[in-house]
Chains A and B, each alone.
Chain A
Amino acid sequence: MRSWPNPLAPIGRVVLEFLAATGRVALFTAEALWAAARPPYFLRHAGRQFLEIGYYSLPIVGLTAIFTGMVLALQSYTGFSRFAAESAIPSVLVVSLTRELGPVLTALMVAGRVSASIAAETGTMRVTEQLDALVTLSANPLQYLVAPRLIAGVLALPPLVLVADVIGTMGGFLISVGKLGFEPGIFLNRCLESLQTLDVVSGLVKAAVFGFLIVLMGSYHGFHSEGGARGVGRATTNAVMSASALILIANYLITEAFFSR
């Protein structure tokens, strides 16, 4: 008897593969957190990674923030002038930057730079047997490679986001004052009046979570890369894609948690 292909089978396969991948990531996360919680602690390594993730990301984050602030001011003016609501520009600018655009754009830029770099480095270590060598030298690769980066990622993103918030606001300030005719004092006063502690705190919490996800995805895909240069390339691409997707998903969930009431 001839059997017809089940049209639901491909959907089932995709769902099963997704669940399996989620399980693998969850296990890797648990192992990495457990590794980070117990000695030895590679603090020098964590310090180096803090510089790598935070300090060396400053130029690209600053550039992204200043132009985002400038565009936001211009676009807000275009929209708000239709309703004679130009005076709301400083409030909209500073709130949207601190709550959303600062954390999300910073994290996406850092994901492109850091997730890719971690995945490529760890993936190369995998295919050149350096991860095996770590084990033979009595080092747990999760403790030596992942834990310091996770700590560095969680600690480096919040200050980076604060810098992005300030630079972005300055970008908006430059356009608003230089091009749109705002009084500098009034603009800054409006910004400060509109900003609440929760706006900044929610942005910093997001930044810490995004920092964790960026390092986790880079490490996970690097650790599981195989098949030489092509495998490392694939791991790098997957790391950036999955980190970016998780940042956007986590952003919604954290926003929901902070501001849904």
Chain B
Amino acid sequence: MTGSAQAPAIELRGLVKRFGGKTVLDGMDLTAMAGDSVAVIGASGCGKSVSFKCALGLLPMDAGSVRFAGTPRDELPFSGPQALMRRSGVLFQGNALFDSLPIWENVAFALFHTGPMRRAEAYELACAKLDEVGLDERAANLYPPELSGGMQKRAAIARAVAADPEFLFFDEPTSGLDPVTAATIDRLIEDCVTRLRATTVTITHDLASVRKIANRVAMLHGGRIVWEGPVSELERSGSAHVDQFVHGRTDRSSTGGPPP
């Protein structure tokens, strides 16, 4: 089946993922229309990162379906311009930069190592992408362990957007960063999303970040999306789980268990 203009850009239906006897995702549904920036929020360990890995096929799922622009993920080709990974950019929680390669090679990896670009051309493009996230040519020639956490995050963002993807996935982009650096990273993500007009899914538990980079929010709890709506309605969602998350309440009565 091919996608139509009205089809959601990213559509997860009934995602189930179990680890041993533990069910982490229990029928998760999520829809992002083209150009949407959706933030998936939820408590630590609720399965946010697992959901995006299942969506991309990095983890096998036990049940459910994933479609990109209306096409089932498994029907997308493995290589060529229509391949899912050629059309996606991913920022991992720990950046996942390759220690053995300089920053510029990390950024240009998909273009240079597995793409058609020549080395010199890839170097120039990587430097341009790094410049967009505020890293100069000196940083381009350093190795990941030689950069600070914030600089590594910038480099990882540059790598995620290097091939101008249609779909962007950010996993906890601001975790472990100080508030100033986190705000800078949020601004960079916002710029990238606006410039590329990519459909973006951001996994986070940072509400300040959500308010800056997302236009829709989905709350994951008990393996399912228990509330979904515009960012502006986050404060008046009517969901006990969202209220608890937004206000940081620790009353035990509203934690765990099935969604209301």
Contact = CB atoms under 8 A, between A and B. Distances in A.
Interface of A: 40, 42, 121, 125, 128-130, 132-139, 144
Contacts of B92: 129, 132-133
A130 B98 contact: yes
B88 interface: yes
- Which 3 residue pairs are nearest across A and B when measured between Cβ atoms? A133-B96, A129-B96, A136-B90
Interface stretch (B60-68, B109-117, B230-238): B109-117
Best-surrounded residue of B85, B89, B114 (most CB of chain A within 10 A): B114
Contacts of B79: 138
Contacts of A125: 98
A144 B98 CA distance: 12
Interface in B91-117: 92-94, 96-100, 109-110, 113-115
Contacts of B89: 136
Name the residue in A121, A130, A136, A139 with the highest tally of chain B Cβ atoms < 10 Å from its Cβ: A136
Contacts of B109: 137, 139
Nearest to A40: B114
A136 B85 contact: yes
Given A129-B96, A132-B92, 7 more contacts: A130-B97, A132-B96, A135-B85, A136-B56, A136-B58, A138-B85, A138-B115
Interface string B59-91: 000000000000000000001000101101110
B86 A138 contact: yes
A132 B113 contact: no
A137 B90 CA distance: 9
Indicate the size class of the contact surface on chain B: 20 to 34
Contact of A128 (B53, B86, B90, B96): B96
A91 to B, nearest CB: 47
B53 A132 contact: yes
Nearest to B83: A138
Interface of B: 53, 56, 58, 79, 83, 85-86, 88-90, 92-94, 96-100, 109-110, 113-115, 159
A234 B87 CA distance: 37
Majority DSSP secondary structure for residues of B touching A: loop
B96 A130 contact: yes
A121 B58 CA distance: 20
Contacts of A135: 58, 85
Given A136-B56, A138-B86, A129 B114 contact: no
A133 B91 CA distance: 9
Contact of A137 (B58, B99, B114): B114
A139 B90 contact: no
Q: Which of B96, B98, B99 has most A Cβ within 10 Å?
A: B96
A128 B94 contact: yes
A133 B90 contact: yes
Contacts of A138: 79, 83, 85-86, 110, 114-115
Nearest to A135: B58
A130 to B, nearest CB: 5
Nearest to B92: A129
A129 to B, nearest CB: 4
B85 to A, nearest CB: 4
Contacts of B53: 132
Contact of B98 (A42, A133, A136): A133
Nearest to B53: A132
Contacts of B90: 132-133, 136
A243 B164 CA distance: 43
A183 to B, nearest CB: 52
17 contacts: A42-B113, A121-B100, A129-B93, A129-B94, A130-B98, A132-B90, A133-B90, A133-B92, A135-B58, A136-B58, A137-B85, A137-B113, A138-B79, A138-B85, A138-B114, A138-B115, A139-B109
